[in-house]
Amino acid sequence: MTTLQRILYVEDEADIQAVAKLALEMVGGFTVKICSSGEEALREAVAFAPEMILLDVMMPGMDGPTTLAALRKLPALATIPIAFMTAKVQPQEVAHYKSLGARDVIPKPFDPMNLAKQVRAIWES
């Protein structure tokens, strides 16, 4: 199995973008592209060719679930593993997000020193 390298991270909050980028690049050694909205993700994703996509749930405009559905329609991204990152992590909420097509849910706030490990575990599962 190849190792995970390229991650697309979709998040509207600039501060969380900065923290997550550092955590994934410097701790995890990944190559990370940040998109600030679902619309930007749709424009940039195919060209970036990610191996994993992390999606915030609550975003203005296209929210996480809507963005997931739109990304899945792109043939190049139809089977790429996607995980949601959200504060809403009740079991029934997690089950709902998985039913939309997400592989798993990473709760917020996240531990930046552990984020890379969590993402890798989801990708490998």
| Interacting residues with other proteins (CB under 8 A) | 13, 15-16, 18-20, 22-23, 26-27, 58, 87-88, 90-92, 108-113
User: What is the biggest distance separating any 2 CA atoms in the chain, rounded to whole angstroms?
Assistant: 37
Distance CA 109, CA 70 (A): 26
C-beta of 92: minimal distance to other proteins in Å? 5
Tell me how far, at minimum, the Cβ of 74 lies from other proteins, in Å.
28
Q: Residue 23 or residue 45: which is nearer to other proteins going by CB?
A: 23
Angle at 64 between CA 20 and CA 1, to 5 degrees: 60
CB of 33 to other proteins, least distance (A): 18
